[in-house]
Structure 1
């Protein structure tokens, strides 16, 4: 909208600008009018890349409200609203706020070629597949100085790291235009341009808004370079995939509720342990939100630094939940890291679901047991049974089945209406995936 079209009434009564029937999962065409209420706290001038420097542009994130003659209420399928409700639920436990520090991983390729087109895929039998182009890939020609072998992309220097300048440009714009503070950026383990940006920790809703902003800035700046950024977890067979590890801590004003200096093991409070217990207890159901695509489960396999089994450990990156222990007696940095999610997750829903699972653990006093200090990938099945270590779902359908039977901890905040519609859409994705022959299957079974 042009700036002159927005006035004080826009903030008081909202903008009558949304046809909700055009948004998948929202409204039917006969009840489609909704109101957008801009949040003035999210007003930011956008970087020049958003309009080639032709004019000054700004953005505001909006909350969604129902429109009717009697009242105007927050729309129950607004994911930002769900996160807000979850934060309010935690205040009942004496928690004033929560801090979050996501590690956002993604790929930047020179090109992704998909054939045939998505629109022809269900009607064409002339072949199907995809190819990835990257100056860093070991399969590209004439790139001896920039080629990175499979699983050898962690912390390379120039010239092999071809995206160092890109990442710096992204981080500069995030701080200059949006005030988003970055702890670090670097090349990740996979070949062909896998990147990671770590955000400095922040409060729940602000951090979720920041993640939405970071993902959009990355995509826009990649496009301006004639490259393509993707947050798809597993685009390359045989190499590491992209995660979104979620660091979390609970606070009562200036007191870190997760910190206990007298705990000899991890300096982790009993409340922190119960919080871990709740997340582990609901982890299979949480996967439907933390890992919401069919591709997500090609990441959650052994051997690629992604968690597969349900346990917690101290500094143990093979566990689903890790308690970092770089230094002792550091109240400010005491936190847990949930290593399961990937960057296709809706960040508002993810934060809300993790909070509610942890809250359920605190309410029910679900102690997670002793931390596991062994490499969980190498434990035998009998040893895992001895430790009481469960497994994550193997597919999106498995995660949805778990959510279908274990959603009581979410219903009061997410609502049954939201969860039913969410699962309906996601089951539809899985069904389409399960019914579509792939090049691998044709190659494997055509001579049967």
Structure 2
């Protein structure tokens, strides 16, 4: 949709307010609303003088805080109805600029801008576009109670704790018909799956209002409302926009049902965690550059193998972006279907990279699946970083080695050394240290300024976590 189409739709659909969306460097959604009568064509041409960037974490200092939001008319969508259904709203996603709106003034810490710059690197490899298909996993609880308060919990003044309430949980009383035991939540039917209608309502809204096509929805392995929604593949920036929309709709719909949705990877001890497995393919026009029908092993082209090699080469550094929280590393442990080893395989879910092998001789569906990321990642940065790592593999012709078809979790240390299988970081600090020593493949697009600010904030986050006592430690060590 162009600018004229936006104003035509506003008039025809009687849109009251226009919400302008953008994300910060960690992918958190922000918005500012304007009455539709106050929006002009000039706002699209010159941008909105509405952003105090010093108030956004990781953006600008207070003495240089004036920035511009430039709406992208192609992202115009009518939003689902308000609470009482009396007002129609629409949204537009914005790009962020410095004091003017020339392309050279695009703000270097604008996540969407980083995706755009990464996408432009495709031409150097003789490619036209990429397709992406994340699998979004999340939990929906009846309640999360933090004691004595969320602030006290993050500082542990006087102690803290939490409890999770869910009709599906095995620890809840009186829910025999809906209780799902640990690791037994994969594809249950009603009544155990208490969120089937909730997920279908989300899928309906995503398609009706946002034009986002859904491949499938289902309950995931964990108890207590672990959900998964799979999106039909799309190009890079469009898919990143879609993921932002999905996460917002999930949270809003849960809140309206007096539930709480969380994309936190590992909220439940001893159970599976939430991932964001990311499918990706490379294209030159209508030709899938990852497909080679003459390859006897995986029908994966040499370019596809080099791309895999690049991601594995930089996998440890990538974790700082694909798994950006301290909680992320409670997921990346053996025994819960999460990858902990840097290798690739065909249809092998114990490897970091899986080449799906449902069908042979299907050029359209040939892709790789990177199984490391979780849904706390900023999707714009995640896509950009994975693409740059893969393109570095193509440029340097990095061989990923032979695919591993064994269960990697059960390999001995000797076998792992024989197969040259490395390990992913076990903490956020380890991931940040890896990125600090291996950021060259990102710097041209992400810029050193962005990476330095990102790592500075994340190091502080890790330090705060590392010095905060937990209920587990108090229970374990009080009598030590």
Give me the whole-angstrom Cα distance separating, in 1, the residues matched to 2:45 and 2:411: 58
1:333-357 deviation line (CA, Å, top 9, x unaligned): 0000000000000000000000000
Deviation at 1:122, TM superposition (A): 6.4
Structure 2 partner of 1:132:
164
1:368 aligns with one of 400, 403, 416: 400
Match of 1:413 in 2: 445
1:198 matched to 2:261? The reply is: no
Map of 2:77 onto structure 1: 44
Give the drift of 1:146: 0.1
Do structure 1's residue 18 and structure 2's residue 18 form an aligned pair? no
Q: CA deviation at 1:124?
A: 6.3
Q: Deviations over 1:252-293 (max 9, x none)?
A: 000000000000000000000000000000000000000000
Residue 326 of structure 1: how far off its partner (Å): 0.5
Report the Cα distance in structure 1 between the residues aligned to 2:111 and 2:83, rounded to whole angstroms.
28
Asked whether the 8 Å contact 2:307–2:390 carries over to 1, the reply is yes
TM-score by length of 1: 0.98
- Which of 462, 473, 478 aligns to 1:430? It is 462
Aligned length: 447
Match of 2:91 in 1: 59
Q: For residue 244 of structure 1, what is the aligned residue in structure 2?
A: 276
Name which of structure 1's ranges 2-11 and 189-198 shifts more when overlaid on structure 2. Answer: 2-11
Relative distance call for 1:123 and 1:414 in structure 2 (3 A) is closer
Residue 380 of structure 2 aligns with which residue?
348
Change (3 A) 1:156 1:30: same
Give me the TM-score of the superposition, normalised by structure 2: 0.92
Contact 1:66 1:72 in 2 (8 A): no
Which one of 244, 254, 259 corresponds to residue 222 of structure 1? 254
**What is the deviation of 1:52?**
3.1
Q: Which of 160, 173, 182 is matched with 2:192 structurally? A: 160
Superposition deviation, residue 68 in structure 1: 5.8
- 2:241 matched to 1:186? no
TM superposition shift of 1:54: 2.1
**Range moving further from structure 2, 63-72 or 161-170:** 63-72
Q: 1:315 aligns with which of 340, 347, 352?
A: 347
| Alpha-carbon separation, structure 2, partners of 1:276 and 1:330 | 19
Q: Which runs of 5+ in 1 are unaligned?
A: none
Deviation at 1:116, TM superposition (A): 1.9
Q: Does 1:397 align with 2:418?
A: no
RMSD: 1.3
**What secondary structure does 1:60 align onto?**
strand
